[in-house]
A and B are shown apart, each in its own frame.
Chain A
Amino acid sequence: MKLPDLLAQAVERYGSRIAITHENNHLSYEQLAAWANNLSEQLRALDLSSGARIGLFLENSSEYLAAFWAICQSEFVIVPLDTSGSPETIASIISDCDMEAIFASPRFRRKFPDIIRRTKNLKAVICSSPTGLEPDSIQSVLMASMPSATDIYASKHHARDDNTKSLAAIFYTSGSTGMSKGVMLSHENLVTNTIATLEYLDLTENDSVMVVLPFYYIYGNSLLLTHIAAGARLVIDNRFMYPELILDTMQNEKVTGFSGVPSNFTIMLGKSTLTEREFPHLRYFTQAGGGMSPDTIRNLIEAFPDKQLFVMYGQLRRHLG
């Protein structure tokens, strides 16, 4: 199985169910797949090399997911980028992997000229509004917008290479020990990990996860893949700076899961009304991305004795509570 099969299966089984909730917008599996198809066509029109690297310079959003699936179903390679990265860092990654096109959010428009100036082989920037870049410096493509709920999704069968060992994505490390390094992951790597994780968490189409972690982190990417593969729902909220807003979203959207790195839990336990609120729909917490202090783990378990906590960091995945 390759990555696009995860989405294709979910669409077949759960087409009309909601895949993504973001800022009160809901996108069904069929809409997501239709959008990904439209974006694939845009990519194919660009005359890129076979197996070209395509960047994702987008905050967590429906656009991110549509572009993500468009890239992998077009047999290109996904390169998620840290949206807080400086133009220098972004440009060095673009050069390092020989990236040919990039999906970029208009939010980061200020950084575009500096990035483009530092790169050679990048051919196109795909953006949901005009990039303002000089046409002779690079091709700007207006990103196809979200299909409406009434658009009919037509499943397309692309003739595909079925080599599961082929490269699917490159994740760059944060570079804390020097230059950031690209970690190359095959379809098989990602699919195997996704299936193992969703079985382990016992995810079903009735689950929904509060997403505060960026998808460009491998842990955020794992949330994306496991929940789409399960036909579940990703509830995106990028306002973790104000944890009260996240807690409101968790309650309003009746999420069944919350996934965080240690600092998310430290902040929520220390400076929010987390423990004063009721989350009757919440089933589990997952934690990864670093070792969490025993005190934080204990406080979380004591505050939520009826929820499961999965500590997914380190060689052993422990199951507590």
Chain B
Amino acid sequence: MLTETEMKQKIRDFIAETFLIGDEQDSFENTDSFMATGIVDSTGILEVVGFIESEYEMTVEDDEMTPSNLDSVNNLTEFVIRKTG
């Protein structure tokens, strides 16, 4: 079982490697909104959902596709913990 810190790092690495290049990979905060910063777009968020679904063996329901669940590294981590904990 991963600790929260490890899980957060894994999610952060996925975001950085999938959507950012070079120096940008270190230049965002875990609290940054993906939408406000433009890191992730409307098709990108589906990749994020696909990642947490396969990585943490969970299903994201249609009505869970909201910013409070998905819109930052911290929100994603808390959401995964709520769903799988």
Given A263-B43, A267-B46, A271-B49, verify A242-B63 contact (CB < 8 Å). no
Instruction: Say yes or no for A272: interface residue by CB 8 A criterion.
Output: yes
Which one of B38, B43, B70 lies within 8 Å of A242 (CB-CB)? B70
- In the bound complex, residues from chain A placing their C-beta under 8 Å from that of B67 are 239, 242, 245
CB distance from B47 to the nearest CB of A (A): 12
Count A-B pairs with CB separation below 8 Å.
40
Report yes or no: A242 in contact with B46, Cβ–Cβ below 8 A.
no
Closest to A243 in B: B65
Instruction: Say yes or no for A24: interface residue by CB 8 A criterion.
Output: no
Instruction: Say yes or no for B26: interface residue by CB 8 A criterion.
Output: no
CB distance from A244 to the nearest CB of B (A): 5
Per-residue interface assignment for chain B, residues 42 to 85, with 1 indicating a CB less than 8 Å from any chain A CB and 0 otherwise: 11111001000000000000110111001100000000000000
Report yes or no: A241 in contact with B45, Cβ–Cβ below 8 A.
yes
On chain B, which size bracket covers the interface?
Answer: 10 to 19
Q: How many residues of A contact B (CB 8 A)?
A: 14
Which one of B42, B49, B63 lies within 8 Å of A244 (CB-CB)? B63
Report yes or no: A272 in contact with B65, Cβ–Cβ below 8 A.
yes
- In the bound complex, residues from chain A placing their C-beta under 8 Å from that of B70 are 242
Closest to A241 in B: B42
Report yes or no: B35 in contact with A244, Cβ–Cβ below 8 A.
no
- In the bound complex, residues from chain B placing their C-beta under 8 Å from that of A272 are 62, 65
Report yes or no: A267 in contact with B42, Cβ–Cβ below 8 A.
yes
CB distance from A258 to the nearest CB of B (A): 15
Report yes or no: A242 in contact with B35, Cβ–Cβ below 8 A.
yes
CB distance from B9 to the nearest CB of A (A): 24
Which residues, 229 to 267 on A, are CB-close (under 8 Å) to B?
239-245, 263, 267
- In the bound complex, residues from chain A placing their C-beta under 8 Å from that of B35 are 239, 241-242
Instruction: Say yes or no for A299: interface residue by CB 8 A criterion.
Output: no
Instruction: Say yes or no for B6: interface residue by CB 8 A criterion.
Output: no
Instruction: Say yes or no for B40: interface residue by CB 8 A criterion.
Output: yes
How far apart sit A243 and B64, CA to CA, in the bound complex (Å)?
11
CB distance from A58 to the nearest CB of B (A): 14
Report yes or no: A241 in contact with B41, Cβ–Cβ below 8 A.
yes
How far apart sit A245 and B38, CA to CA, in the bound complex (Å)?
17
- In the bound complex, residues from chain B placing their C-beta under 8 Å from that of A241 are 34-35, 40-42, 44-45
Given A84-B38, A271-B49, verify A244-B43 contact (CB < 8 Å). no
- In the bound complex, residues from chain A placing their C-beta under 8 Å from that of B44 are 241
Instruction: Say yes or no for A273: interface residue by CB 8 A criterion.
Output: yes
Given A239-B35, A267-B46, A271-B46, verify A244-B40 contact (CB < 8 Å). no
Given A241-B45, A245-B66, 6 additional A-B pairs, CB 8 A: A242-B45, A242-B70, A243-B65, A271-B49, A272-B62, A272-B65
* Chain A residues with a Cβ under 8 A of chain B: 84, 239-245, 263, 267, 271-273, 276
Residue pairs across A and B with Cβ atoms less than 8 A apart, 7 shown, are: A240-B42, A242-B45, A242-B66, A242-B67, A245-B67, A267-B43, A273-B62
- Give 5 nearest A-B pairs by CB, closest first: A241-B42, A273-B62, A240-B42, A241-B45, A273-B63
